[in-house]
Amino acid sequence: DAGITQSPRYKITETGRQVTLMCHQTWSHSYMFWYRQDLGHGLRLIYYSAAADITDKGEVPDGYVVSRSKTENFPLTLESATRSQTSVYFCASAMVETDTQYFGPGTRLTVL
Amino acid sequence: GQNIDQPTEMTATEGAIVQINCTYQTSGFNGLFWYQQHAGEAPTFLSYNVLDGLEEKGRFSSFLSRSKGYSYLLLKELQMKDSASYLCAVMDSNYQLIWGAGTKLIIKP
């Protein structure tokens, strides 16, 4: 099916482990985004990408790494997971930066 | 700093009308978005305002006043399926979305 998908949907890991969250979109959108959503906060931007091989930091980038070798994929890596990174992570995409953003189903990550 | 304010929770009755307010203070303004988010699901796009005034889309309408830094989402003929969180987001001068914490709308029969 066309759209934007994320995997895994649920992940439990331990402090200090490396974790990679995957995001894939089939719309050929130029822009892709990673957000985290925590109770009591609005969505917070972690990283975004304007095109393949172009990425930039958002509001809360510390502890996260991204790459974008292909237009359709935008993986997010937690290099050494901490409990404060327990959250729901959403990937989104948009045709251009001013366009409506469309969200994937989310990954619920728990760091023990 | 940048700030988006919206009520944490609202309750309304099935069939009634509810207005969810959003006030904002941001570095620049390139449009305001409303999204709906059901529990455990992704946000889905509802509406976009960049000029002052009312945008109507079926049972949902969204209003913007840029001079007042204010928007509202109006939901008419409420249905049980409208129980969800409603997220207000403003696109700032860097074309990044600044999000409110969301308003949880509870619909009672």
Q: Are A81 and A64 in contact (CB under 8 A)?
A: no
CA distances from A46 to A23, B7, B31, B85 (A): 14, 25, 21, 22
Mean pLDDT by 10 residues, chain B (109 residues): 93 98 96 97 97 96 97 98 98 94 97
* Candidates A9, A33, A37, A56, partner chain B, best to mutate (most B CBs within 10 A): A37
User: Taking CB atoms and an 8 Å cutoff, what residues of chain B touch A36?
Assistant: none
Q: With an 8 Å Cβ cutoff, is A100 touching chain B?
A: yes
Q: How confident is the model at residue A2 (pLDDT cuts 50, 70, 90)?
A: low
User: Taking CB atoms and an 8 Å cutoff, what residues of chain B touch A49?
Assistant: none
Q: What is the pLDDT of residue B1?
A: 76
User: Taking CB atoms and an 8 Å cutoff, what residues of chain A touch B43?
Assistant: 43, 90, 103
